[in-house]
């Protein structure tokens, strides 16, 4: 059983600036903190978030000594052993770092709006040839329009709807009349096709 008190680490001495006591504290408990951080990151996607266990361990020590050892001073030996308490602090710090990193990444991403779909389609069709060469079979142009896309990415109707909307510059009602379908069907085909394009281009 872990001892709650003892001479191994004198927290009071650490907080008064005793260098020897602090070095002893780091020597004894740095491995405990690093292990807790390592496993917390490992089980919560720390590698994918680009977090290093050593950096987060350093953050734990910064929190312990920050504001005049404010966090370290809250340790109560009557409630838990020091190693147990530090493990909880380390796990909490690691999770905070993960949340902060993910929030930062989300903030850098452009929020999705329907206008982004329109912009994507317009950009793709702007790069396509203005007319369909007679040598290209209609089955291919119906399926993918004039875009260099993998076969089967868009259905024939989806490709045709996008081509009429963005290459031929027809509006929804005009496309509906051209294909003899309801305008709602045109909008549905357009939305599904753009969703596939967005997924294909990882947008």
**In the chain, what are the domains?**
11-108 (1.10.1740), 114-200 (1.10.10)
**H or E element: which one contains 181?**
none
Which residue in this structure is represented by tokens 């838990």?
80
The CA angle 19-21-24, to the nearest 5 degrees, is: 110
pLDDT tens figures, 92-116: 999 998 888 877 665 555 554 555 5
**One pLDDT digit (tens) per residue for the chain, 203 residues:** 444 444 345 888 998 889 999 999 999 999 999 999 999 988 887 666 677 899 999 999 999 999 999 999 999 888 888 999 999 999 999 999 888 887 766 555 555 455 555 555 655 555 554 444 333 334 334 444 445 566 777 788 888 888 888 777 889 999 999 988 899 988 888 888 887 777 766 54
DSSP annotation of 72 reads G
Closest Cα partner for 159 from 189, 184, 181, 127?
A: 189
Q: pTM of the entire structure?
A: 0.50
Backbone CA torsion sign across 187, 192, 193, 198: positive
pLDDT for 26-60, tens place per residue?
999 999 999 999 999 888 876 666 778 999 999 99
- DSSP-based three-state secondary structure for 65: helix
């Amino acid at each position: 059983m872990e001892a709650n008190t003892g001479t191994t680490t004198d927290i009071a001495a650490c907080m008064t600036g005793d260098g020897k006591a602090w070095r002893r504290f780091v020597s004894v408990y740095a491995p405990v903190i690093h292990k807790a951080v390592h496993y917390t990151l490992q089980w919560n996607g720390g590698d994918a978030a680009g977090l290093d266990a050593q950096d987060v361990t350093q953050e734990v020590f910064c929190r312990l000594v920050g504001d005049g050892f404010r966090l370290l001073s809250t340790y109560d030996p009557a409630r838990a052993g020091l190693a147990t308490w530090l493990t909880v602090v380390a796990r909490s710090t690691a999770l905070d770092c993960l949340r902060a990193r993910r929030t930062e990444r989300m903030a850098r991403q452009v929020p999705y709006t329907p206008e982004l779909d329109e912009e994507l389609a317009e950009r793709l069709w702007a790069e396509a040839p203005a007319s369909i060469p007679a040598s290209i079979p209609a089955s291919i142009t119906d399926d993918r329009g004039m875009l260099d896309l993998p076969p089967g990415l868009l259905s024939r109707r989806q490709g045709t709807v996008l081509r009429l909307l963005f290459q031929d510059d027809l509006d929804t009602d005009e496309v509906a009349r051209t294909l003899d379908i309801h305008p709602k069907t045109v909008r549905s085909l357009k939305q599904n096709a753009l969703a596939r394009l967005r997924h294909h281009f990882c947008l």
